[in-house]
Amino acid sequence: MLKTFDLVLIGVMTATAAVTYTIKHRAELKLEEVHRLEAEIKLEKDTIDLLKADWALQSQPNRLERLVNAYNEELQLQPTESTALVHAKELPMLKSEVPVPDTTEAKAGAKGATVASAKAQPVPTPAPRGAAKPGGATAQHGLVEDSEADEIETGSVE
């Protein structure tokens, strides 16, 4: 009976050692993954710091002033006047907010029909930035379209 009990204890000890080794191995794998993630986080933080420094250099007022002076003939930039700024309430109504013309106004006569047709026409909305204007205004002036502007690289970060 003693030999059977010894064999059972040896089996339990072997199983315990195998489970302990498996847990240790999994813990080491998780530790390696934590170190890898910490390295990635440090790389991202360094990249963010580099991009912030690059932005600070690119947006320096003296650099921008030199660029404005160098390209003033091509860009024809003008300072924004305080009268050129508008409030949200001064913008035209949305197309969905334009009132529907009354049908009784249209029957009032030719003059009334002209007024009603003028009221029925939607308020023109400004074209999205970079959209081609009639006559190819973007192509004539060499402006960069939005899809192309997203692909421009500064070359400061790989």
- Asked if pLDDT for residue 103 goes beyond 80, the answer is no
The Cα 79–Cα 110 span in angstroms is 47
139 and 130 Cβ atoms separated by less than 8 Å: no
- Tens-digit pLDDT profile for residues 19-46: 999 999 999 999 999 999 999 999 999 9
The Cα 95–Cα 153 span in angstroms is 38
Domain residue extents for the chain: 1-76
54 and 157 Cβ atoms separated by less than 8 Å: yes
Q: What is the pTM of this model?
A: 0.41
The Cα 48–Cα 57 span in angstroms is 14
pLDDT above 70 covers what percent of the chain?
Answer: 64
